[in-house]
Structure 1
Amino acid sequence: MADLAEALRRVSYEVLPMKGTADAVLEHVPRDLPLTVSTSHAKGPEPTVDLAVRLAGHGYSVAPHLAARQIRDGSHLSDLVGRLRAAGVDSAFVIGGDAPEPAGPFADALTLLAALDALGRPFRRIGIAGYPEGHARIEAGLLDRALDEKAPHATHVITQICFDAGATVGWARQVRERGVGLPIRVGLPGVVSRQKLVRISAGLGLGQSARFLLKQQSLFWRFFLPGGYHPGRLARRLAPHVEQPGSHLDGFHFFTFNELAGTEAWRRSMLARAV
């Protein structure tokens, strides 16, 4: 229980830039919890940046997702970065993005990271994505090489959802053995209902919804198992490895799907039990 409590003190939350998100964050999320704001190619980067700026104005440490394939050109990137820095945002999470075609010259996360370097590294902290169970459309060797190449430009890794704690720990060990020493924050779903995921998917539009469902299909499948999904079971299996020598696991990153009230209430209840 002590391991779990310590891990639950080292968490960050991902939120979706939708109507009412800012109010939900203000109501339920303590200001000492870091946030990331996701993005979708259907809406572009502006709603993500708008929400990041708003939350930063309320005192949150927030990292917007910057998706390379959404950014039209260097001027567009400079404008986005300028808005964020003017608002005091000093973190970003850099991804390639799932747009079928890039909007400009940035085809992947690495090219965007290089462009940010050319702008003078405007962010103090930069996260990149890790894939403990691989990627449906990218060969494993390419994923490994991409992570190795992006690592010098980044300060930490946030993993995609993986329900196999052993796979996550083993993947983190392999990453370290390849010489990547970045701290790794483990991504896992918060307290979220199947109905909530269905509502989110329905609100994204047909094409974007299909991509959302493809990425979250293992989460949907979990709800049909006996007992369904609850973050406590996965968190307990991962907690003993957080901050252990050699693991580089640095805490949990909860994909909240904007179910902030339930996720934060659960976290606080677990911390209270450990007192």
Structure 2
Amino acid sequence: MAHGLCRTAVGAGSRRKLPDVADLAGALRRVSYEVLPLKGTEETVVDHVPRDVPLTVSTSHAKGPEPTIDLAVRLTGHGYSVAPHLAARQIRDTAHLSDLVARLRDAGIDSAFIIGGDAPEPAGPFDDAFALLVALDDLGHPFQRIGVAGYPEGHARIETDLLDEALEKKAPYATHVITQICFDAAATVGWARQVKERGVVLPVRVGLPGVVSRQKLVRISAGLGLGQSARFLLKQQSLFWRFFLPGGYHPGRLANRLAPHLHRPATELDGFHFFTFNEVASTEAWRRSMLDRVS
């Protein structure tokens, strides 16, 4: 069916249960968007994204934290709830961290998304997200909401056991988890069950790509520079190649598969987080169209 909305699938003697429209409608109302701090992002967001959709602003080690902080402050001024990415390996020292936090607090920003970052070497004493979370706690826990990353399919350079241990360590300092992109709904649900069984009961926002063209993904990759682009493709290789399969990628299929598992006792899956790659206009138009159909 159009836009990936389907109701029943039967094949080879088996019947697969697909989401009730209420599941999907609820999931599409509980979304957040990630944007990149590039030229024109502010105007595009203001023109197309409702003020009640929370935002995160990504960062890259090539540009440092300043463009992320600048955009987060400006978008907050437009009435959005914004959580900038703070990457541990970009922070030079405690004074640098204090300055960044002060800028955010002065702008009324009370949320942050804490990551380790992709820099080959840390700029200061913070080697990973946990170290930065501890430092923020020492500063008086300046944010009301703190997100940390989850990896349903693991990480290209980190052992799964270490990822699990890291999430358990970070959980007491965090209020929610946002997962990296995973195209396997069953893998995401299974990972979420295991996380809860290990005692991590934070709400989990499931990361999905927005409505992004193949050309846009290639341009973003190229624009990151050779080293940064290689790291991007290493982490997002399933996304990259998915765009070149017959029929390409469409978020409706994955959303359909995930929606029935949100707000269920076995997991803490809580909603969708769309990696828009700054295609916020097409992603929001798709979301509104889907809501119109299922509502």
CA displacement 1:168-218 (0-9 Å, x = unmatched):
000000000000000000001000011001111121122111111222211
Q: Which residue of 1 aligns with 2:259?
A: 239
Give runs of aligned pairs for residues 139-178 of structure 1, distance below 5 A: 139-178=159-198
- Which AA in structure 2 matches 1:132? P
Q: Distance in 2 between matches of 1:23 and 1:216?
A: 27
Q: Which residue of 1 aligns with 2:35?
A: 15
What SS does the aligned partner of 1:186 have? strand
TM superposition outliers: structure 1 runs of 4+ over 6 Å: none
CA displacement 1:226-256 (0-9 Å, x = unmatched):
2211000000000001112221100000000
Match of 1:51 among 54, 71, 86: 71
Q: Which residue of 2 aligns with 1:227?
A: 247
Q: TM-score, normalized by length of structure 2?
A: 0.92
CA displacement 1:22-41 (0-9 Å, x = unmatched):
00000000000000000000
Instruction: Report the Cα offset of residue 224 of structure 1.
Output: 2.1
Q: Distance in 1 between matches of 2:155 and 2:232?
A: 14
CA displacement 1:92-150 (0-9 Å, x = unmatched):
00000010000000000000000000010000000000000000000010000000000
Q: CA RMSD in A?
A: 0.7
- Which AA in structure 1 matches 2:197? E
Structure with greater Cα Rg? 2
Instruction: Report the Cα offset of residue 222 of structure 1.
Output: 0.7
Q: Which residue of 1 aligns with 2:106?
A: 86
- Tell me the matched-pair count: 275
- Which AA in structure 1 matches 2:281? A
What SS does the aligned partner of 1:158 have? strand
Q: 2:185·2:257 contact (CA, 8 Å) conserved in 1?
A: yes
Q: Is the counterpart of residue 72 in structure 1 residue 77 in structure 2? A: no
Give runs of aligned pairs for residues 1-275 of structure 1, distance below 5 A: 1-275=21-295
Q: Distance in 2 between matches of 1:84 and 1:223?
A: 36
% same residue: 83
Q: Distance in 1 between matches of 2:236 and 2:61?
A: 17
Where does the alignment leave 5 or more consecutive residues of structure 1 unmatched? none
Where does the alignment leave 5 or more consecutive residues of structure 2 unmatched? 1-20
What SS does the aligned partner of 1:201 have? helix
CA displacement 1:32-66 (0-9 Å, x = unmatched):
00000000000000000000000001110000000
Q: 2:214·2:244 contact (CA, 8 Å) conserved in 1?
A: no
Q: Distance in 1 between matches of 2:166 and 2:267?
A: 20
- Which AA in structure 2 matches 1:182? L
- Deviates most, 237-246 or 22-31: 237-246
Q: Distance in 2 between matches of 1:142 and 1:94?
A: 17
What SS does the aligned partner of 1:14 have? strand
